[in-house]
Structure 1
Amino acid sequence: MYSVGELARKANITVRTLHHYDQIGLLKPSGSTEGGHRLYSDEDVMRLEQISILKKMGLGLKAVHEMLDSYGTDWLSCLEDQLQMVQREKEKLEELESMLRVTIHSVQIEGTLNWNAMFQMIRLSQKDPAAKQRFIREHFTAEERKLLHKLPNLNKDDPLTMRWTEEVAQAKAVMHEDPASPAAQEVAARITTLALEAFDGNHTLMNKYWELHGAEDNPMNLYPFEPELLEFLNAAFEYYDRTQTAHEAAAPPKPFVGKNRRK
């Protein structure tokens, strides 16, 4: 038999903890001295080790008490039930993490906590995955679908998403300027470069995706652009495309280079 002090030293816990376990009925000593001091048996030591293991698994004392008293030696059922509880908690934490990331991105873009934008972003992030897949299959070919996985995701903090968030914030900062202004065109150029990177240089897919952006039934919208920002971006992109086309048309033809080049 072990005294309360001996068991505390053996288990590397405090005497106060053992007193608390006794008070709540989690671990009662099997005996006592003539003077009324607690004495613990080897079976008590085993129960204390079980309590320690379950606590390390994340259970609170109430849950530990219920599991030890309800399941007895049926540890398989005990562990399976605990695993299911952990999985449910994991799903809740992942949902909370997603909402926090979405909110952070919204603040980065808006410069403040825009509740309307945040609510819309959270709704977008919680769209039914099946509806999203149906939309993708209806509007994109098999080859196009292979490239969509690289799109920015506001639920994550990958480098592409972070860069995209910064560019949208810059677009909002200059959205009241002329879309043909140098500042607006710099934003248009950077977003176009970023989009081409996401779509592996596929201009057709990039334009197709942008044309679908903003549709109310589109579960793939990257961000709930306000109408003024969307109008500004469309005008900036249109001017940027015209300018790029004009520059390419005015560029001198490149000389033929190769091993059969005539001298």
Structure 2
Amino acid sequence: MITVGELAERSSVTTRTLRYYDSIGLLKPRAITRGKHRLYYEEDLLMLAQIQLLKRMGFSLKRISGMMHDDKMNTVTQLENQLSILEKEEEKICKMRETIRGIVHAFSLDGRIDWSMVVSLIKQAENKGTEHERLLLFFPKLCEDSEETKRIIVLVNDTRNALASGPDSEMGVRISERLFDLMSELCQGDKQLIEELWDIVCSHKLSEALGCFPIPREIIEFWEAAKKEIDS
């Protein structure tokens, strides 16, 4: 038999934890000496490892006790239930990560955090079955961390810096060319798709509804004017 101190040392838990497990009936000692020292069997090391593993999986000590001591409790079912809980938590974390990324990108676009716009984007519908659904496959979203998303942020900021120069300036034309090169890449050269995508870019309401980048009005007006310069 081994003492509580040996069990603690070999399992990397504290003696205080083992005493607590004893008090709640989770892992009781096999014997207690006259000096009131707790003694355990070697196999208790395995039981303790099982407890620690189930804790890391997110199980409460109460559920762990039931799984280990209640023959009527189906351990596999409990594991499947816990897996379902963890998957839901993972989904929440993923959405939280996207929310934070969207806020960071929104700040990069406008130099401030427009909370009403961010909340609107995060709560957007899936838009299944809409005529614009296929465009969602092409246009970067505010909450994404893709290379295309970063290029749009840079493009918006470069345009903001070029507002004073005007859309007919050399800088304005270069920015417009970069924009339409990017759109052509996203749409794989499909001219009709490019036009549809341009309509979304120009529509703050529509781009917001689709979870895309709601571009500031002055940036859109600059791009539209620069586009006319290129088309003329």
**Does the TM-score normalized on the shorter chain lie above 0.5?**
yes
Unaligned runs of 5+ in 1: 243-263
Pair 1:67-2:63 in alignment = yes
Aligned to 1:104: 104
Structure 2 CA distance for aligned equivalents of residues 81 and 87 of structure 1: 10
Confirm or deny: 8 A CA contact 2:107 2:113 kept in the other structure.
no
| Alignment partner of 1:134 out of 129, 132, 151 | 129
Q: Which amino acid aligns with 1:91?
A: E
CA shift at 1:97, angstroms? 0.8
Aligned to 1:161: 149
Confirm or deny: 8 A CA contact 2:168 2:226 kept in the other structure.
yes
Q: Which amino acid aligns with 1:35?
A: G
Cα deviations by residue, 1:198-221 (Å, 9 ceiling, x for unpaired): 111122211222123415355325
Cα deviations by residue, 1:158-215 (Å, 9 ceiling, x for unpaired): 2222212211221222234422122222211111111111111122211222123415
Cα deviations by residue, 1:116-148 (Å, 9 ceiling, x for unpaired): 2x541442243221xx2222xx257xxxx4x75
Structure 1 CA distance for aligned equivalents of residues 15 and 84 of structure 2: 33
User: Which one has more relative contact order, counting CA pairs under 8 Å at least 6 apart?
Assistant: 2
Q: Which amino acid aligns with 2:5?
A: G
| TM-score of the two chains, using structure 2 as the length reference | 0.83
Aligned to 1:247: none
Cα deviations by residue, 1:55-92 (Å, 9 ceiling, x for unpaired): 332x2xxx431212334342012102211110111111
Pair 1:205-2:193 in alignment = yes
Q: Percent identity?
A: 30
Residue pairs, 1:160-199, within 5 angstroms: 160-199=148-187
SS at match of 1:39: strand
Unaligned runs of 5+ in 2: none
Q: Which amino acid aligns with 2:40?
A: Y
Aligned to 2:138: 150
Give the number of the structure whose alpha-carbon radius of gyration is greater.
1
| TM-score of the two chains, using structure 1 as the length reference | 0.75
Distance 1:177 1:91, change over 3 A: same
Structure 2 CA distance for aligned equivalents of residues 40 and 139 of structure 1: 67
Structure 1 CA distance for aligned equivalents of residues 187 and 37 of structure 2: 74
Distance 1:148 1:78, change over 3 A: closer
Structure 1 CA distance for aligned equivalents of residues 55 and 205 of structure 2: 48
Residue pairs, 1:1-263, within 5 angstroms: 1-22=1-22, 26-41=26-41, 44-57=44-57, 59=58, 63-71=59-67, 72-73=70-71, 74-110=74-110, 112=111, 114-116=112-114, 118-129=115-126, 132-135=127-130, 138-139=131-132, 145=134, 149-213=137-201, 214=203, 216-217=205-206, 219-220=209-210, 222-242=212-232
